[in-house]
């Protein structure tokens, strides 16, 4: 097993609350093991541009509670090319970096995987994405914060929905996965939840709204994932209005507020554990894996398998939604 001496940490892809807590854990665990730790700015783009700086313990003081990422993040097309990755690798070598921790989503892991294959540089992935859709981990950093932000927003909207007897169609994030919609919908008592996974047809929802109206239940919340099969909130509203013109229907798109904010306790702990475990893995020679949490235990998954999970949401959830909102 080759000894690691100098490691780099970066955040990549969309930002997620808790990324700073993970950066802090990587830096301090590295320093505790007498490694030199470098921060790469703007993800892979900074690797290509050699925006690589040494980090000390105090560089990460007082950031565990901050949203965003002090290392910033960016998308980087050049890194998709072998030529780009070579340039990145050469910059790492200038700093004698012999281990990398990448905090990001499946696209970022794919990049790391390729680099680890092309060059002799071990990479560890940490799942940082609000979407909770990475195979190999029950949770991803940022999900718990994002759903709680969505829940607080929907609670507020329900106040005004109740005051006016309105139907609100609320769009939450989730292009490929319905977890944010499902969790925020259940916990705000939403009458319907629409996700990228085909769980319920919009025709059934419209029929139900018409039944509700006959029962004079006029307040309804529909939570729609942005990647819902039936389209986003605007499209769903268009169809609902066409079929239920007498309902007072409004649309809210929660948008980017779901990415920011101070991370919840769970996200901070998850990020701390994963950052710690990522460095431990590098030291033990367990390379080219993603650190995940499965049944509340750290588990490592080969980077090439740490892709978007294509699990089906358990349809029993929909039954629960229906029963509890009735």
Please give the residues from 115 up to 154 whose contact with a copy of itself meets the rule CB under 8 A.
Answer: 138, 144, 147-151, 153
Q: Residues at the annotated binding site for ADP?
A: 24-28, 158, 189-191, 215, 217-219
131 is catalytic: yes
Is 285 near a copy of itself (CB under 8 A)? Answer: no
Smallest distance from the beta carbon of 106 to a copy of itself, in angstroms? 18
Smallest distance from the beta carbon of 287 to a copy of itself, in angstroms? 21
Q: Which one from 15, 131, 144, 267 is the annotated catalytic residue?
A: 131
- For the window 72-91, what string marks contact with a copy of itself as x by the rule CB under 8 A? xxx-----------------
Site for a copy of itself (CB under 8 A): which residue of 184, 212, 228, 249?
A: 184
Beta bridge partners of 225: 172
| Distance between CA atoms of residues 325 and 85, nearest Å | 51
Is 62 near a copy of itself (CB under 8 A)? Answer: yes
Q: What share of the chain is helix, strand, coil (3-state, %, to 5)?
A: 45, 20, 35
| Residue 296 burial class via C-beta count within 10 angstroms: exposed 0-12, middle 13-18, buried 19 and up | exposed
Smallest distance from the beta carbon of 82 to a copy of itself, in angstroms? 26
User: Do residues 100 and 123 make contact, with C-beta atoms less than 8 angstroms apart?
Assistant: yes
In whole angstroms, how large is the CA radius of gyration of the chain? 22
Query: Nearer Cβ to a copy of itself, position 121 or 321?
Result: 321
CA distances from 100 to 6, 92, 211, 300 (A): 9, 9, 56, 15
Supply the angle between the helices 106-118 and 82-94 in degrees, to the nearest 10. Answer: 70
Reported residue count of the chain is: 326
Q: Which residues between 190 and 249 bind a copy of itself (CB under 8 A)?
A: none
Which residue stretch of 88-96, 164-172, 197-205, 238-246 sits at the interface with a copy of itself (rule: CB under 8 A)?
Answer: 164-172
The catalytic site residues sit at 131
């Amino acid at each position: 097993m080759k000894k690691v001496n100098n490691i780099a940490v970066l955040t990549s892809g969309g930002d997620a609350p808790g990324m700073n807590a993970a950066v802090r854990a990587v830096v301090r665990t590295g320093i505790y093991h007498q490694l030199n730790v470098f921060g790469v700015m703007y993800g892979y783009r900074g690797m290509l541009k050699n925006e690589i700086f040494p980090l000390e313990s105090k560089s990460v003081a007082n950031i565990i509670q901050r949203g965003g990422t002090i290392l910033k993040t960016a998308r980087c097309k050049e890194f998709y090319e072998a030529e780009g990755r070579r340039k990145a690798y050469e910059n790492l070598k200038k700093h004698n970096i012999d281990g990398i921790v990448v905090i990001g989503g499946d696209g970022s892991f794919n990049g790391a995987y390729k680099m680890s294959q092309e060059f002799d540089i071990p990479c560890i992935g940490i799942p940082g994405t609000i979407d909770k859709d990475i195979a190999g981990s029950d949770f991803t950093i940022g999900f718990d914060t994002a759903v709680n932000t969505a829940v607080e927003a929907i609670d507020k909207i329900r106040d005004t929905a109740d005051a006016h007897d309105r139907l609100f169609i609320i769009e939450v994030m989730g292009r490929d996965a319905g977890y944010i919609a499902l969790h925020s919908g259940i916990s705000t008592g939403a009458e319907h939840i629409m996700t990228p996974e085909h769980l319920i047809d919009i025709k059934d929802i419209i029929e139900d709204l018409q039944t509700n109206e006959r029962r004079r239940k006029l307040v309804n919340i529909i939570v729609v994932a942005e990647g819902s099969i039936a389209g986003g909130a605007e499209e769903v509203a268009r169809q609902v209005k066409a079929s239920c013109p007498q309902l007072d229907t409004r649309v809210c798109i929660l948008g980017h507020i779901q990415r920011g904010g101070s991370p919840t306790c769970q996200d901070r702990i998850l990020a701390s554990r994963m950052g710690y475990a990522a460095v431990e893995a590098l030291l033990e020679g367990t390379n080219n894996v993603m650190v995940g949490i499965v049944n509340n235990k750290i588990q490592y998954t080969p980077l090439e398998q740490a892709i978007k999970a294509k699990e089906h949401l358990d349809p029993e959830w929909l039954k629960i939604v229906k029963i509890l909102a009735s």
